[in-house]
C-alpha cells in the first residue's frame, strides 16, 4: 500500500515517544487543506495514533482500536493484534485503505490491513508518501545527535516536507513519557 498525501513519523528517544504528522490533505493533484490533524491521543490520552490513507477509513480504524483498548484494559499489544486480525478477516474492514502507527509507553507499532503488526528495531518508524524521507532523517538524528524525541520528529518532518510534494511543514506532534 502506498498512500499519497501524508507523512506520519514515530520516534522513541531519551525516555519520550513522539509522533508527528503533517497537515496537508491532497485530492489528486490539488492541495485542499493545510492544517489537518492526523495524529491524536486516544484511550485516556495514554496512546498516540497517527494514520495515513483515506480519512474516513483511518478514523474508523482509530475508533475500532480504541474499542479494543477498552475491551483489553489498555493493552496496546493485544488490541493491535485483535484489530489487525479483524482487519484482515472482516469483509468490510478489508476494503479500508489506511495504515496506522500506535504508540504507548511500552511499544510502537505499525498496523496494516494485511494483518501486519510491525515493531521497529530502533524505535523509529514512518508511514505515508514522505515516510521514507522522514524515517531516514529521524534514524540519522537518533544516531548522530542528542536531540530529544520531539526535536527529532520536528526536524525529520521538515526534511520530509522539503522532499515530498504530498507533505507540508504544518506538523502536529504529540508526545508521551515512557517512564510513567
Percentage above 90 pLDDT, the chain: 71
Give the pLDDT of residue 180.
67
Question: Which H or E run includes 11?
Answer: strand 7-13
- Indicate if the pLDDT at residue 2 is higher than 50: no
3-class secondary structure, 173: strand
pLDDT in tens, 73-108: 999 999 999 998 888 887 777 677 788 999 999 999
- Indicate if the pLDDT at residue 4 is higher than 60: no
Contacts of 48 (CB under 8 A, 6+ apart): 10, 17, 19, 39, 40, 41, 42, 102, 103, 104, 174, 175, 176
pTM to 2 decimals?
0.93
Q: Do the beta carbons of residue 135 and residue 126 sit within 8 Å?
A: yes
Give the pLDDT of residue 19.
98
143 vs 2, residue with greater confidence = 143
Contacts of 58 (CB under 8 A, 6+ apart): 38, 51, 52, 98, 100
Mean residue pLDDT across the chain? 91
Cα–chain center distance at 26: 18
Catalytic residues: 6
- List domains and CATH numbers for the chain: 7-174 (3.60.20.10)
| Residue whose C-alpha cell is 520516534 | 11
Q: Buried (b) or exposed (e) across 66-87, using 16+ Cβ within 10 A?
A: bebbeeeeebbeebbbbbbebb
Amino acid at each position: 500500500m502506498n498512500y499519497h498525501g501524508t507523512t506520519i513519523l514515530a520516534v522513541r528517544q531519551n525516555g519520550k515517544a513522539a509522533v508527528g504528522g503533517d497537515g496537508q490533505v491532497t485530492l489528486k493533484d490539488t492541495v485542499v487543506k493545510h492544517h489537518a490533524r492526523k495524529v491524536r491521543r486516544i484511550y485516556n490520552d495514554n496512546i498516540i495514533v497517527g494514520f495515513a490513507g483515506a480519512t474516513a477509513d483511518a478514523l474508523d480504524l482509530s475508533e475500532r482500536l480504541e474499542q479494543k483498548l477498552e475491551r483489553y484494559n489498555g493493552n496496546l499489544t493485544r488490541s493491535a493484534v485483535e484489530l489487525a486480525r479483524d482487519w484482515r478477516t472482516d469483509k468490510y474492514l478489508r476494503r479500508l485503505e489506511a495504515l496506522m502507527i500506535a504508540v504507548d509507553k511500552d511499544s510502537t507499532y505499525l498496523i496494516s490491513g494485511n494483518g501486519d503488526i510491525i515493531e521497529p528495531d530502533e524505535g523509529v518508524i514512518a508511514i505515508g508518501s514522505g515516510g521514507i524521507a522522514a524515517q531516514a532523517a529521524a534514524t540519522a538524528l537518533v544516531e548522530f545527535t542528542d536531540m530529544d524525541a520531539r526535536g527529532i520528529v520536528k526536524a525529520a518532518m521538515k526534511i520530509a516536507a522539503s522532499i515530498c510534494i504530498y507533505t507540508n511543514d504544518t506538523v502536529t506532534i504529540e508526545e508521551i513519557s515512557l517512564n510513567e
